[in-house]
Amino acid sequence: MSAGEGRVAARLAELGLTLPGVAAPLAAYVPAVRSGSHVWTSGQLPFVAGALPVTGKVGAEVDVETAVALARTAGLNALAAVGALLAAEGPDGDPARALDRVRRVVKVVGFVASDAAFTGQPAVVNGTSLLLHEVFGDVGIHARSAVGVAVLPLDSPVEIEIVVETD
């Protein structure tokens, strides 16, 4: 690890990942808020460069493998929201380095826009869960809900929320 580079930033680089910019809210809310030692994200869609790469229902227009990758992307977007909030609060203005302040990923909530017959929501949300474990190690192990829904904003196949505990 080079001087000044945080452990999470280094781990992201090892994984070939870069935190994206935080997606602009679609309505009257903010991407993340702090309450005490916890940071809560708003639902994060799998935006890539400001657009959804895929739309539709999982089990119909979207296959499971694609949905897992989208959940991973939405999880990375959630980390970007947390990192941006922490960077704005602290002495380090770099969101990836600011993620070193995460002491525990507490909860993940995953929403999967599902075909009526689709029951594999837990497998889809694993895209986020595995990402968090890869990035944070044991600190990334969390409680989780995986919920099937009829439709999500912009016809996104997945939406992810995370709660982290910070120092």
**Cα–Cα distance between 99 and 85 in angstroms, integer?**
10
Report the alpha-carbon distance of residue 125 to residue 146 in Å, rounded.
6
Query: Low-confidence residues of the chain, pLDDT below 50?
Result: 1-4
Q: Where are the beta strands (DSSP E) in 5-119?
A: 32-35, 38-41, 102-113
* Closest to 54 in 3D by CA, of 33, 38, 69, 43: 69
Task: Give the pLDDT confidence score for residue 90 in this predicted structure.
Answer: 79
What's the whole-model pTM score? 0.95
Q: Give per-residue burial for 136-148: e unless 16+ CB within 10 Å, then b.
A: beebbebebebeb
Supply the pLDDT for residue 91.
79
Structure confidence at residue 5 (pLDDT): 60
DSSP lists the bridge partners of residue 33 as 40
Query: Tokens 């029951």 belong to which residue?
Result: 119
